[in-house]
């Protein structure tokens, strides 16, 4: 059997920089399952998922170069999430995407009540803050939060994976969201 050789990120980025179309094929081979997992949680049908993935490969092709991501996987994860949410905004009226709507509604709880809509935290700073807060959580709870708000997995799915009821999982999530809101408030003060 022919061995499967996995290209490292450096080599993959080099292919993009040389405008070699194998970059897209290799990206798809290595990261399609990862991207599909996120998109499948956020979108309603496999057809939509495949369309989003095509958009992701295209966006990667268009952005590298000039961009040189530290981690191709994290970069593609961000693209899937960005493209999914942008599509959700456009097609919200058709009620085609239940995933992002529920996730966004819940994320309201992460905003401290003392914050106004106009009050902003620079995007990179907010990511670092969330990253630091996540690392301070217990492993199971950190994983649950990332699966819900990064991968977009449903509360029902997480409850099944964790072995508890949906109501219990909703409680855990609410507590985590409020904890993040406190961390953001503390950061500002």
Partner 1 sequence: MKREDIYEGMSGIGPDLIEEAEKHVFAARRKPKIFRWAAAAAVFVLLCGVGVYGAAGGFTVRKLLVNGYEVSANISRIPMQEITGRVNEASEIIPEQYKTFPSYSSMYPGSFYKDVSSAEEAAAYIGYDKLQIPVFPYDHTDNFQVMVVGDPNGRISQIQIMRDTYSEKVSAQNWTTLFTEHYDKNVFDIGFAGDPSAEIQEFTTGNGLRCIVFEANAQLEGRKYMTAYITTGDVVYMCNSAFNTADLAEAEKIIHDWAESIK
Subset of 105-124 contacting partner 1 (CB under 8 A): 105, 107-108, 110-111, 115-117, 119-121, 123-124
46 contacts partner 1 (rule: CB under 8 A): yes
What is the smallest separation between the CB atom of 63 and partner 1, expressed in angstroms? 9
By CB under 8 A, tell whether 17 contacts partner 1: no
Q: Interface with partner 1 includes 14 (CB under 8 A)?
A: no
Residue 70 interacts with partner 1 (CB under 8 A)? yes
The DSSP secondary structure of 92-124, one letter per residue, reads: GGGT--HHHHHHHHHHGGGS-TT--SS----HH
186 binds partner 1 (CB under 8 A): no
* Interface characters, 145-184, with partner 1 (x: CB under 8 A): -xx-xxxxxx-xx--xxxxx---------------x---x
Contact 111, 184 (CB under 8 A): yes
Q: Hey, how many other C-beta atoms are within 10 angstroms of the C-beta on 30?
A: 18
Q: How far is the CB of 148 from partner 1 (least distance, A)?
A: 10
Distance between CA atoms of 24 and 47, rounded to whole angstroms?
A: 20
Within 119-165, residue ranges assigned H as helices are 123-135, 139-149, 155-162
- Judged by CB under 8 A, the residue of 8, 17, 18, 74 near partner 1 is 74
Min dist. Cβ of residue 52 to partner 1 (A): 13
Residue 118 CA neighbour count, 13 Å, CB half: 0
């Amino acid at each position: 059997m022919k061995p499967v050789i996995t290209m490292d990120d450096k080599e993959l980025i080099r292919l993009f920089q040389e405008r070699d179309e194998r970059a897209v094929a290799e990206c798809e081979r290595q990261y399609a399952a990862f991207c599909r997992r996120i998109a499948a949680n956020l979108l309603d049908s496999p057809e939509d998922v495949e369309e989003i993935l095509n958009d992701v490969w295209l966006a990667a092709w268009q952005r590298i170069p000039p961009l040189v991501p530290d981690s191709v996987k994290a970069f593609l994860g961000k693209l899937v999430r960005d493209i999914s949410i942008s599509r959700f905004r456009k097609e919200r009226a058709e009620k085609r995407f239940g995933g992002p709507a529920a996730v966004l509604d819940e994320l309201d709880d992460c905003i401290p009540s003392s914050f106004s809509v106009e009050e902003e935290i620079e995007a990179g700073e907010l990511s670092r803050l969330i990253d630091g807060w996540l690392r301070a959580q217990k492993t199971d709870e950190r994983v649950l939060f990332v699966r819900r708000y990064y991968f977009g997995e449903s509360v029902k799915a997480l409850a099944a994976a964790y072995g508890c009821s949906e109501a219990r999982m909703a409680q855990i999530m609410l507590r985590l969201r409020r904890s993040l809101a406190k961390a953001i408030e503390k950061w500002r003060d």
